[in-house]
């Protein structure tokens, strides 16, 4: 996305993603990705395009954006925003490095840091479940072996 705005990359992003995930049927975007051309082009590639319009909505646009499927997909979009926030918390809120190469390195390191944090949380949760199982069954009598 170097020297490009969100609305210039939406269609390309969906096309490239569909090459890797052919069963992709819906995508949710922010208002910054909206343009009439994007709206039309994305509908040719996806069953459900969640691309909110900027500014005051016409009655037709209001009807589209208040449809049940649109609202449901829009609510799932908050998970993406949460992931972006997690990256910011793990170092991506400020980039002390200079230049494009420094920025790219900094983004990559923030993603690695977030992934390590997430893997640690998963491992900790597994260990907690394992410990609960051990304590739950610790008070049971051990079965006695029967003489043959």
Looking at the structure of the chain, the number of domains it has is: 2
Q: Is the pTM of this model over 0.75?
A: no
* Same domain, residue pair 109 and 45: no
* Same domain, residue pair 44 and 117: no
Q: What is the pLDDT of residue 148?
A: 54
- pLDDT, one tens digit per residue, over 42-66 is 888 888 888 888 888 888 888 888 8
- Which of 71, 19, 83 lies closest to 92 in space, CA to CA? 83
Task: Examine residue 25 and state whether it is found in any structural domain, yes or no.
Answer: yes
* Same domain, residue pair 69 and 107: no
* Same domain, residue pair 22 and 67: yes
Q: What is the pLDDT of residue 20?
A: 92
Q: Which domain holds residue 44?
A: 1-80
- Residues of the chain where predicted confidence (pLDDT) is lower than 50: none
Task: Examine residue 26 and state whether it is found in any structural domain, yes or no.
Answer: yes
* Same domain, residue pair 74 and 99: no
- Which 8-state DSSP code applies to residue 95? -
Q: What is the pLDDT of residue 108?
A: 87
* Same domain, residue pair 67 and 107: no
* Same domain, residue pair 62 and 108: no
* Same domain, residue pair 4 and 73: yes
Q: What is the pLDDT of residue 126?
A: 96
Q: What is the pLDDT of residue 129?
A: 93
Helices vs strands, H then E, count in the chain: 5, 2
């Amino acid at each position: 996305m170097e020297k490009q705005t969100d609305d210039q990359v939406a269609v390309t992003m969906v096309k490239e993603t569909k090459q890797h995930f052919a069963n992709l049927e819906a995508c949710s975007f922010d208002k910054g990705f909206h343009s009439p051309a994007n709206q039309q082009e994305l509908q040719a590639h996806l069953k459900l395009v969640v691309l909110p319009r900027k500014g005051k909505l016409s009655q037709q646009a209001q009807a589209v954006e208040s449809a049940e499927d649109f609202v449901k997909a829009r609510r799932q979009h908050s998970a993406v925003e949460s992931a972006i926030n997690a990256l910011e918390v793990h170092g991506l809120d400020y980039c002390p490095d200079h230049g494009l190469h420094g920025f790219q390195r900094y983004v990559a390191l923030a993603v690695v840091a977030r992934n390590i944090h997430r893997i640690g949380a998963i491992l900790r949760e597994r260990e907690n479940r394992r410990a609960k199982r051990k304590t739950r069954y610790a008070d049971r009598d051990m079965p006695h072996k029967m003489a043959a």
